Amino acid sequence: MTEMHYNSGKMIAVERTFTVPATAVFEKSYSAFLFDMDGTLISSTLAAERVWAKWAEGHGIDVRTFLPTMHGARAVDTVRRLGLPGVDPEAEALKITRAEMDDVGGIFALKGAVEFLGKLPQAQWAIVTSAPLDLARRRLAAAGVPLPQTIVAAEDVAIGKPNPDCYLLAAKKLGVDIGDCLVFEDAVPGILAGDAAGADVLVITATHKHALETAHAVVFDYRHLDVVVEDDGRMSLRRVDVA
């Protein structure tokens, strides 16, 4: 299976081998669910792209080709990847985050997300985001999504997605084995991070502008999902047909 992702601003194809069929996530039960935030639980695309477009223009970067490459990774990693001469990635990331804190217009929860989260035991799900914690809280509040007991944010790891450390840390905080977790993701860096961590992955496509080739299970949004919590606390997914 060939998956498409970005490297240094260019789309490249990566051959990946999966031994677990996509349907497996609907045939298993899990101790915990780990959710990416932007594009997975909420749509913040318009707000984020407004901020990043203005920043890119200020640095002479072609906005049209750049914007598709900035989703799913920490701001500092995105800036560092560009290798702009004379630019301090950490300082620029801080400026971008401040601008994003001031612009939460048009942010909303994906359909069915709030209801789905409400069915989960509080101690058995976490948000694992590339956004800094303060920005994550602000965006979740703007979208009307409840705060979980556990959040792993940009500042909690030394290396962001696609490095698996963020998901490994979330599993550790929840006190479960990462192999007993299901990761909900929308962007390639996060999908690769979930894979590398050793978790199963479910891809949410509601905010996708273009089709993503993936061997993982895919659903559009949370209206297409239901969860069964067993007596022992383990959780399993069920597909829901939506007219």
Active site residue 36: yes
| Cα separations in angstroms, 218 against 93, 102, 150, 151 | 31, 33, 25, 24
135: its two tokens:
């920005």
| Active-site entry in 36, 103, 200, 221 | 36
Torsion sign, CA atoms 48, 184, 153, 160: negative
CA gap 101, 159 in Å, rounded: 22
CA gap 241, 205 in Å, rounded: 16
As annotated, the active-site residues are 36, 38
